[in-house]
A and B are shown apart, each in its own frame.
Chain A
């Protein structure tokens, strides 16, 4: 079937809405008096709420594919997208919200033509990961030679600023055109349409915006983040828990470009009882920090002077858990204290991130960590992607990649329906998306959650057993290869 319907005269709205159609449906007005203002109902095939990484890449994917490009699509984003469009920083500054993109996500972004728009000089591929236990010191090293996880360049993952990605996606959408963008407009309500003489929209979600517009959607996509209004509308519960932890982020500058960077940069993660602390490489001498810790300690970290904050970061990768406890309680003076302790704490210089010497002004921030998983990703004429569907602990750096995986699967599912003349919004036709993604995300979230809990203890017995486990895994290249392939998004599917 051709996905374009010339008009919407048919009562059932079987065909697709032509985005070149300018005619809008006037809501049928009954003969009797009505107090409400007459408003214009616009009809779309896909209305996407949320212009974050997930929403934007879904639209780019739909627009880039000739099968789905005739669909009439709209984006509603409550924030202005101008700051994203204009995002531009000198090579000495980086946004503090960075995510690692797996080669699989990058492959997808290449497919939809967005990767070319990413400023590549601001992206940093890394080739190894070093993960260790902050209590026992047991460690595990991953390098791309193991398990054939990496891409041609031997890259495990790419560190990238979220804004560099969303800017590129907007650039790609501008290039493709054809998206009705409602920015700076909040979704104020979602309800069902009416059954009128011209069309039966009673099963169609109708989104009302703060700008006074009403959009009926054949398929409403919730890419609207953790507190998804679309999910609430669909009556889909989201379950999980808060970790009682926050992620402290910052852009850091190191002494040099990092250890062994001739062969490729390395990502570091140390598990502390309060949560993992990670140092992920950015281009040049820069790196990005993600330190999950208790809200109380995060507040103390944020209150420190730049010098003391930098010392705390160095301490987090080097000093004992006992020293860290003490240092956290000092209102100031960490710098001096840490330099004394470094002389008495044995650590392999090149096994920890290169010494940090500065923190970018205004880059220290924190966000709460939680685990949430929606009971379902789909409903009648509703699909959820990205954080709206699931929020995961950042320790595996998978949040954004999971969203990209969702988008790829949903875009394929939609294309399949269009190709086969099926209604893209009907629940049954969305099931392929759910079955492809739900179990896989659930498994990943489970593993990440268990890891967090395993490492959030100082219990000697647990520390002993987990260190044995880590050491055992470290000596088994086959097992490491498995983890590497999972981390780089090329893991075998086993669900």
Chain B
């Protein structure tokens, strides 16, 4: 019996690691034995208990193994319902542009966003900044998982959209993808979208080096909170229509100030340290210690 349940769960597409966390009992709406048909392509309906298991399991696993984007994605989906994803959807529904996005349901991938086109745009445009950022970070628009566990098909799209726009937020803010930048952006997203996963991901701050952590609390967290709260809902940006706009113009329209460039700071920091060491060495020389 247990084996049978395992088989079914496996075929339902749950990450293998999480099987242990999903308790296979019946919940009120349906049981794992009579899983209802999917509400959209790729949808995996879960019972309430499975969802809770998924949340706990993916949270634990993603801390143990942070290089598992599928688990982080699963965590995001499991914690977004029942409240937060609706809040984000409502934020879209109350804005004319947000509604247009929900109607058109544009998807971002290398097919819909041609890199050649983006690179051909003048500097300081949104599209070019995005392309530069992708090139600089060595990533592509195709690296996003599809949403599976959110039951409402429209909310599933909202989650998908949020995920696909994530790199554009990076580009807009100029924050890099290594851990420090990611945590800073997550803090911004949390303040802006209130999605719990973005908040949870900030726990990764505990894994930062002391100097990084200090910088996070002194510079990036205050930046993230003030900008995330006071700026407009970034989920309502129709990026596909903004690619040719001046990036500064868009930032000021949204009310976002660009944070200090993290890579610059790091570079300066390294240069300073190097200079210090060199200076020390030089002073050692001049003292004729050798």
Binding site for B on A (CB under 8 A): 320, 322-323, 325-326, 337, 340, 344, 346
Q: How far in angstroms is the closest Cβ of chain B from A462?
A: 16
Contact with B90, one of A322, A337, A344, A346 (Cβ below 8 angstroms):
A322
Q: Are B152 and A320 in contact (CB under 8 A)?
A: no
Q: Is A323 touching B93 in the complex (CB atoms < 8 A)?
A: yes
Known pairs A320-B90, A322-B94, A325-B94; list 13 more (Cβ under 8 Å): A320-B93, A322-B90, A322-B93, A323-B93, A326-B93, A326-B94, A326-B99, A337-B99, A340-B103, A344-B102, A344-B153, A344-B154, A346-B152
A326 nearest CB across to chain B (Å):
5
| Minimum distance in angstroms from A129 CB to a CB of chain B | 26
| Neighbouring B residues of A346 by C-beta, 8 Å | 152
Q: Which interface class (under 10, 10 to 19, 20 to 34, 35 or more) fits B?
A: under 10
Q: Looking at chain B's contact residues, is the secondary structure mostly helix, strand, loop, or mixed?
A: helix
User: How many residue pairs, one in A and one in B, have C-beta atoms under 8 Å apart?
Assistant: 16
A residues within 8 A CB of B99?
Answer: 326, 337
**Please, how many angstroms separate the alpha-carbon atoms of A484 and B152 in the complex?**
36
Could you show 16 A-B contacts with beta carbons less than 8 Å apart?
Answer: A320-B90, A320-B93, A322-B90, A322-B93, A322-B94, A323-B93, A325-B94, A326-B93, A326-B94, A326-B99, A337-B99, A340-B103, A344-B102, A344-B153, A344-B154, A346-B152
| Whole-angstrom CA separation of A325 from B93 in the bound complex | 9
**Whole-angstrom CA separation of A326 from B94 in the bound complex:** 5
Closest to B92 in A: A322
For A337, list chain B residues within 8 Å (CB): 99
- 8 smallest A-B Cβ distances: which pairs? A322-B90, A344-B154, A322-B93, A326-B94, A322-B94, A323-B93, A326-B93, A325-B94
Task: Give the residues in chain B near A323, CB-CB below 8 Å.
Answer: 93
Q: Which residues of B contact A325 (CB under 8 A)?
A: 94
Which residues from 211 to 268 on chain B have a C-beta closer than 8 Å to any C-beta of chain A? Answer: none
User: How many Å lie between the Cα of A328 and that of B201 in the bound state?
Assistant: 38
List chain B residues, Cβ under 8 A from A326.
93-94, 99
Complex Cα distance A72/B93, Å?
A: 65
Query: Of residues 125 to 153 in B, which have CB atoms within 8 Å of A's CB atoms?
Result: 152-153
Distance of A273 Cα from B25 Cα, bound (Å) = 38
**CA gap between A320 and B90 in the complex, in Å:** 9
Shortest CB–CB separation between residue A221 and chain B, in angstroms? 52
Q: Which residue of B lies closest to A322 (CB)?
A: B90
What residue of chain B has the Cβ atom nearest to residue A330's Cβ?
Answer: B96
Identify which of residues 96-116 in chain B touch chain A, using a CB-to-CB cut-off of 8 Å: 99, 102-103
Bound Cα distance A326, B154 (Å): 17
- Looking at the assembled complex, report how far the CB atom of A464 sits from the nearest CB atom of chain B, in whole angstroms: 11
CA distance A320 to B89 in the complex (A): 11
With a cutoff of 8 Å between Cβ atoms, the chain A residues found around residue B154 in the complex are 344
Q: Chain A residues near B90 (CB, 8 Å)?
A: 320, 322
Taking CB as reference atom, which chain B residue is nearest A346?
A: B152
* In the bound complex, CA of A39 to CA of B94 (Å): 67
Shortest Cβ distance from B96 into A: residue: A326
**What residues of B have a CB within 8 angstroms of the CB of A344 in the complex?**
102, 153-154
Could you tell me the distance in whole angstroms from the C-beta of B161 to the nearest C-beta in chain A?
Answer: 14
**CA A346 – CA B152 in complex, angstroms?**
9
Closest-by-CB residue of B relative to A321 is B90
User: In the complex, what residue of chain B is closest to A344 when comparing beta carbons?
Assistant: B154
In this complex, what residue of A is CB-closest to B39?
Answer: A346
Name the CB-closest residue of A to B152: A346
A458: min CB distance to chain B, Å: 11
B196 to chain A, nearest CB (A): 15
B154 to chain A, nearest CB (A): 5
> Shortest distance in angstroms between A325's beta carbon and chain B's nearest beta carbon?
6
Q: Nearest-CB distance from B38 to chain A (Å)? A: 15
A344, B93: Cα distance in complex, Å: 12
A229 to B152, CA, bound (A): 58
Chain B residues within an 8 Å CB radius of A322: 90, 93-94
- Assembly CA distance A337 to B94 (angstroms): 13
Within 8 A of A (CB), among B43-97: 90, 93-94
A94 to B94 alpha-carbon distance, docked (Å): 36
CB distance from B232 to the nearest CB of A (A): 16
A346 to B90 alpha-carbon distance, docked (Å): 15
The CA of A157 and the CA of B99, in the complex, are separated in Å by: 42
Cβ distance B260 to chain A, nearest Cβ, rounded Å: 37
CB distance from A274 to the nearest CB of B (A): 15
Within 8 A of A (CB), among B164-201: none
Give the distance in Å from the alpha carbon of A323 to the alpha carbon of B103 in the complex. Answer: 13
Shortest distance in angstroms between A11's beta carbon and chain B's nearest beta carbon?
Answer: 75
Closest chain A residue, CB of each to CB of B98? A326
B153: chain A residues within 8 A (beta carbon): 344
CB proximity of A62 to chain B, nearest CB, Å: 57
Which residues of A have CB within 8 Å of B93? 320, 322-323, 326
Quote the shortest CB–CB distance from A331 to chain B (angstroms): 13
| B215 to A: closest C-beta gap in Å | 36
B236 CB → nearest A CB, Å: 13
A323 closest partner in B (C-beta):
B93
